[in-house]
Structure 1
Amino acid sequence: MKITIIAGARPNFMKIAPLIKSIKKRQQEGFPITFRLVHTGQHYDKNLSDTFFEELNIPFPDTNLDVKSGSQAEQTGKIMIAFEKELLENPCDLVIVVGDVNSTMACSIVAKKEGCKVAHIEAGIRSGDLAMPEEINRIVTDSLTDYYFTTSHYANQNLKRSGIDNEKIFFVGNIMIDTLRAHEANLKQPPIWEKAKLKNDNYFVITMHRPRNVNSKEKLTIIISKIASLIYPLPLIFPVHPRTFKMLDKELSEIENLYLIDPLGYLSFNFLVKYAKGIITDSGGITEEATVLNVPCITLRENTERPETCEIGTNVLVGTDLEKITKEIDNIQNNKRKKGQIPILWDGKTADRITASLIEIFKL
């Protein structure tokens, strides 16, 4: 059985690492499985791509399509053109895509047009917000997928409502948590720890990258300034996404307790998450990590494709409502934080469940 695995952006790398490890284990057990790793090059900043291969012990890709940035349509088109050539030169039995980035959708379309089966890891998640490019990617990918590997009962329900047969849905859990659990003991202190004199539970981490939040310099400045003032004198650590960096106002650099730093590798970033007093983010994946690490998380969005992080996890949705942000930060500061639990099957064994399913599906 020949598998092509697609990785395009930061979250993808965290999801393919345990999958590759599990495939290699199956190979050692004698199962006839081979894989080819394709990096689309959707993220090309070293801290957003190469570092993850090094830190998570992922073999470097067999090929890098090197598409880099561009508009949604431009990037998607480049990926499709490059991946079509790759797939024609290296045919396979199954293309595995993960998450909801442009690479996920683009490679799914190409694979199906070439008559190749598609498996989607993290299938079925929905925010209900069609203004999010990721939501379009999810819907299109799941309309083409043959095998759906899901993270939660919510995802299962979404797929069933859209008419997907039960036998195509495999509830396996959250593969990103496999990576977190595998590397939790190896998390490493980033340089900002000493520079900002950080201590356990005495700082907040913020990340923002969604266009709705960062495309207005004025709005971005107001939100960050407000949050920094609410937690003062505690430090606010802000690893800045390349998209966000272009929109930062110079006045933010004058805020005493705000630390603007370069993007961090996986081990360093999750070190900050694990020991933070609270997380403020617009990233879906970080809400999952915060939930598993039992760190309170405030999400600057009106909706989420990961409702389990709110229903039983540590996550709270506030949008960009300054009153709601103030209330939730006060709750954290006054030890009234939300108590969370870990969702079912977020146990570090998802990759093994996926490979077991593939062995059964393809009768290996």
Structure 2
Amino acid sequence: MEPWQILDLLFRGMAVGAQLGLGISLARSADNRALRIATLLFVISNIGFTLNGFHPIGRIIGPAQVLLWLIQIGGAGYFWLFAVTLFEDRQLTAMSVAPSAALTLIGLFGEYGPRITAPAIWGVHNIFGLLLALHALVVIIRSGRNDLVEARRRLRVPFLVLIAVFSIVLSIAQIGQILGINASWYEFANASIQAMLGIAGVAVLLEARPALFGVAGGGRSTPIESRAVDDSVIWLDRLQQAMDADALWRREGLTIGDLAKAIGLPEHRLRRLINDRLGHRNFANFVNQRRISEARTLLSDPASATRNVASIAFDLGFGSLGPFNRAFREATGVTPTEFRRLALRDASSIPENPR
């Protein structure tokens, strides 16, 4: 084995060790099943990519290389899944796992399909992966507006955007190789970057692990700053007044800044109040909880049966039907139309004067 290959293998070993330790630790800390699964898939796909980039590895791990390759080809999809479950608190659904499944199928067709179409198929695969990485960047940046977890707000850009940028650079390099642009230093630089990213991940994410992945429900006992508990109770009462009695949640485009101004509390303190005392990690979910509750009531009411779903969505503060359908389905498991059909069917089967 050449000296540069030994150094390459050393870097890859460092990357795999860091990624494996980080993945196990974060998956154990995650407060929901979706995040645990997304974290493990993302880490395993990265390990597969790291190992398969070293060509002599096949002689070391044997048939297991095929399994690692199979997981690796969906890697951009697993990164995207990790980003949306961590930063948007999404649950695992058929739609959320579809990108990684599609990437895997495209890769299999590129590898085992007709040789004449392989370059075009792999080109589609890499472009799709690039688009997913770009969308993950958008998710990381966009979701910061609604994030109530301070550690997650601070770390989203310096670390996970770095991973997304690496994915973008990687996709561009792979597309260039398909077009015949070869770089002799590519694999060694790739191993070095992955080692640095893995070590940075251990140093940064493990320190913030409890806040990033900790249990989010039920109201915590951590005090807000060093103020008396009664101070928090006062602000919680004002928040409840604004959300329940004044129904500010009906306001379209309501932001946490708008709500903070309405109750007279600095925005950073309101974020901590909702997160620490009410257990919400995402402001949109905090607001939508009330909207979906009211939607369930309206959709179950025979008196509202003639109202279309769009008018209900607009009345509840949603700017369009798409976000309403998505939020409702995440909360209930069914679409608003299906929920109404089932609720009204059950209501009509109950006798008016039971004896």
TM-score range relative to shorter protein: under 0.3
Q: Greater CA radius of gyration, 1 or 2?
A: 2
- TM-score under structure 2 normalisation? 0.25
User: TM (normalized to structure 1)?
Assistant: 0.25
